[in-house]
């Protein structure tokens, strides 16, 4: 889960996490108007949930009618900061990093990577789409000069902590960490979201497992 620096906040985290999903539906929408029911169906959330989420930032739907698609989209982009082109740095251009670099070059609504860094000479200098991979030794100057506030970490476990430290030191505001080890330090300076894909798969295993025998507390 996201750990916050301060805690004064008006919009719940859970709402923030759903906004990008609404946004994507809105951007694939041809009609000018939509409703909370339609938005709910296409995102998998309840219509009440949708309305409550949108109401948090004073969304103006029209009673009896619904929401204006482009206006609402613009508003969500503004909340998320996506209208101010959030620039990010990706560290670790392996398969996962490459996948993320490609995804984010497909849509305009996405977070844009201003740089991709790696320490592998075989990778440095190569391009993923329009982004040229640079040497990780330039991490500090890249972050400072391009005013990067968001970092995505896709490095091996062993490197994660030290790279995170350098990123925090260089002044990024948040780190989305995909390395298979949690980043635990410096959480008052940067916000860290750990997202470990192998852990997610292990959790899923539970849901396909028969548990009849489990609960009688084992002795």
Binding site for DNA (CB under 7 A): 1, 7, 12-15, 35-37, 45-49, 51-52, 54-55, 59-67
What does 164 interact with, of DNA, a second copy, none (CB < 5 to 8 A by kind)? none
Contact string 73-92 vs a second copy (x = CB under 8 A): --x--xxxxx-x-x-x----
Tell me how far, at minimum, the Cβ of 121 lies from a second copy, in Å.
20
Query: Given the DSSP bridges, would you call strands 127-128 and 131-135 parallel, antiparallel or unpaired?
Result: antiparallel
Can residue 171 be called a binding residue for a second copy (CB under 8 A)? no
3-state secondary structure of 59: coil
Angle at 112 (CA atoms; ends 189, 117), nearest 5 degrees:
70
Half-sphere exposure of 22 (CA within 13 A, CB side): 35
Of 78 and 137, the one with the shorter C-beta distance to a second copy is: 78
Of 48 and 137, the one with the shorter C-beta distance to a second copy is: 48
Query: Given the DSSP bridges, would you call strands 174-177 and 67-68 parallel, antiparallel or unpaired?
Result: unpaired
What does 47 interact with, of DNA, a second copy, none (CB < 5 to 8 A by kind)? DNA
Of 17 and 137, the one with the shorter C-beta distance to a second copy is: 17
Phi and psi (nearest 5°) for 91?
Answer: -115, 120
Which alpha helices (H) appear in 61-195, and where do they start and end?
69-80, 95-103, 139-145, 157-170
What does 109 interact with, of DNA, a second copy, none (CB < 5 to 8 A by kind)? a second copy
What sign for the dihedral angle of Cα 122, 126, 129, 133?
positive
Query: Contacts with a second copy in 128-167 (CB under 8 A)?
Result: 149-150, 152
């Amino acid at each position: 889960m996201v750990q916050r620096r301060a805690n004064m906040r008006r919009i719940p985290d859970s709402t923030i996490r759903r906004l990008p999903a609404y946004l994507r539906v809105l951007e694939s929408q041809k009609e000018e108007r939509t409703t909370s029911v339609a938005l709910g169906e296409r995102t998998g959330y309840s219509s009440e949930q949708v309305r409550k989420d949108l109401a948090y930032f004073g969304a103006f739907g029209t009673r009896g009618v619904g929401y204006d698609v482009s206006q609402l989209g613009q508003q969500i982009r503004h909340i998320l900061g996506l209208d101010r082109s959030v620039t990010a740095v990706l560290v670790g251009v392996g398969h996962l990093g490459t996948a993320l670099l490609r995804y984010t070059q497909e849509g305009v609504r996405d977070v844009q990577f201003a740089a991709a860094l790696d320490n592998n000479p075989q990778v440095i200098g190569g391009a993923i789409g329009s982004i040229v991979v640079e040497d990780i030794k330039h991490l500090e100057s890249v972050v400072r000069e391009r005013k990067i506030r968001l970092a995505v970490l896709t490095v091996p476990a062993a490197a994660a902590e030290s790279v995170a430290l350098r990123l925090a030191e260089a002044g990024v505001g948040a780190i989305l960490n995909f390395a298979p080890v949690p980043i635990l330090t410096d959480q008052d300076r940067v916000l860290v979201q750990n997202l470990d894909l192998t852990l997610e798969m292990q959790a899923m295993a539970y849901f396909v497992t028969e548990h009849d025998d489990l609960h009688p507390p084992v002795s």
